[in-house]
Structure 1
Amino acid sequence: MEIFVRFLLFLFVFNTSPTWATNDRLLHFKGIVCNQCQQWCENTDLVTLGSIRVGKAGPRGIRGQRGPQGIVNMTLVQQIMDRKIEQALQLFNGRSCDGAKLESAIALNDSGGVFKSYIPAVGYKDVFCDVTDEGGNWTVFQRRMNGDVDFFRSWGDYVNGFGDVQGDHWLGLEAMHQLTKTGNMELKIKMIKRDGIYWFAKYSSFRIGPGSDNYRLHVSGYSGNTTYDGLTRHNNHQFSTKDADHDDWTMNCASSWGEGGWWYIDCADSNLNGNFNKTVNKGFWWKRYSLLRFSEMKIRKRNTRTNPIRKLTSYRSSVSLAE
């Protein structure tokens, strides 16, 4: 029926002058059709019939019923919250301890403190920042002071890090790579021999390669007061552990000789991650088997503008480091 009516409308339109589109003419046409099609006419208005003229909108209809309650995606909410927290806590963003502020420290001692640092591709890690030695800004990545942490560990442990940054610890190879990959870093090693003599060795250039290259060591520019340079010969060598042999020896230096993770050659000029209590090759020593009772390895941006030495007494937190 609707098709028939629209056909009549078509004939009406094209056989009428351009002034046909008046309400009177449309009503007249509708009256003709409605005489034959009463039921269809009652359910059809001018808009449906010709789509010629739209009248003013009528009153708002009755509001529909409230739909079912939505379901909250808690996983998405948690992800958003985690991102916000990351943004809020992103203190150094991979810049190591450069610019660390004492009031942000988790804990302090006379040389520095523990800070929460965001390291790209690693996440948040507690790091110890030395803010006093030669102007500060040092990120400590290795410390041996009492031997209560076992350093004869797996590859995974050395990649991710272990120990307590307030004491004996290893920050992690991946973190070290991320912090040094720009190549603009220097290294300082502090050591105390078993006879109480203090040593230090500095290297003007220090960088750790990516995991795909087994965290290869790039180091040069030695200076210091040690009798011998115990690290330069390790330059351009990959890291090895008891379960990941990347050294130049026919056997595994880490498991058969050094009892630690290190950039072994065939095997080593130093073994700062060796057994804390043993002597000779498997022990904890610098070149020529100089046995140690303390070591600390730390990095900072080369040629950085250092901060003046600061007294930390007024900044001590309620949770202090062991003296």
Structure 2
Amino acid sequence: MLCQTSNTVFALVYGKIDPGDLNQTFAMYQTGFSPAEGSTWLGLEAMYALTRQGEYRLTIVFNIYSGVKAVYDNFTVNGAVEGYSFTYGHFRADLSDYGDGFAASVVTGAGSLAGVPFSTYDKDPYGCAAQYGTGWWYDDKCGPVLIYAPASDRGWWPNSINTLVKFPTMSFKLELMEYY
């Protein structure tokens, strides 16, 4: 049985995210940074170390004002050798308002993002991070599943298996919670 603790491990949240705030180097995403007042990206290396210590749930809140979210159990960030790719046990449709944006999807034209290395403008095998202006896990088709696109101040995520929705993401949250 999984029980939630109050241990929020990382969050990107609170306050307006402006174009350029998330267009950081790979080294910055690896070690952590504060993109806006009150917001923190813990760092890929820290997420890797933490997710090795227990079971974690990733909750992506697409707009903190509406509370619309997607939830993933057993979320794990892999190490540097794997490019800080991630895996997850399963998508929690029962706790989510949107669909599984990390899964392979005909709607988005994307393959599964699980196992795809993290990309930034200076470490960008497909040119996607440079195109969108933000670090993220991109496949060879550049998604278009992402939490934030600075040029449009919107994100893209499937809200069903048949529909891709654009939503305002000036204030969003990625939250990793430890479960035991």
| TM > 0.5 | yes
Kept after mapping to 2: 8 A contact 1:203/1:222: yes
Q: What's the counterpart of residue 108 of structure 2?
A: none
CA root-mean-square deviation: 2.5
Larger Rg: 1
For structure 2, the residue ranges without an aligned partner over 5 or more in a row are 104-111, 158-163
- Scaled by the length of structure 2, the TM-score of the pair is 0.75
* AA at the equivalent of 2:91: Y
Residue identity (%): 24
Matches within 5 A, 1:8-47: none
Q: What's the counterpart of residue 149 of structure 2?
A: 274
Q: What's the counterpart of residue 145 of structure 1?
A: 15
Q: 1:260 aligns with which of 125, 131, 134?
A: 134
Q: Does 1:227 align with 2:98?
A: yes
Q: What's the counterpart of residue 300 of structure 1?
A: 177
Q: Which 4+ runs in 1 deviate beyond 6 A?
A: none
CA distance in 2, matches of 1:231, 1:136: 25
CA distance in 2, matches of 1:209, 1:172: 12
Deviation at 1:160, TM superposition (A): 1.1
CA distance in 2, matches of 1:226, 1:295: 15
* AA at the equivalent of 1:300: M
- Scaled by the length of structure 1, the TM-score of the pair is 0.44
Kept after mapping to 2: 8 A contact 1:151/1:274: no
Q: What's the counterpart of residue 216 of structure 1?
A: 85
Kept after mapping to 2: 8 A contact 1:139/1:298: yes
Matches within 5 A, 1:8-87: none
Higher helix share: 1
Higher strand share: 2
Kept after mapping to 2: 8 A contact 1:200/1:225: yes
CA distance in 2, matches of 1:150, 1:244: 17
Task: Compare relative contact order (CA 8 Å, sep 6+) and give the higher one, 1 or 2.
Answer: 2
Q: What's the counterpart of residue 38 of structure 2?
A: 167
CA distance in 2, matches of 1:260, 1:183: 28
* AA at the equivalent of 1:229: D
Q: 1:236 aligns with which of 102, 115, 121?
A: 115
Q: What's the counterpart of residue 67 of structure 2?
A: 198
Q: Give the count of matched residue pairs.
A: 158
- CA gap of 1:135–1:213, structure 2 versus 1, over 3 A, is closer
Q: 2:52 aligns with which of 174, 181, 184?
A: 181
Deviation at 1:147, TM superposition (A): 1.8
CA distance in 1, matches of 2:84, 2:54: 14
CA distance in 2, matches of 1:171, 1:165: 13
Q: Secondary structure at the match of 1:245?
A: coil
Deviation at 1:161, TM superposition (A): 1.0
CA distance in 1, matches of 2:174, 2:62: 9
Deviation at 1:151, TM superposition (A): 0.6
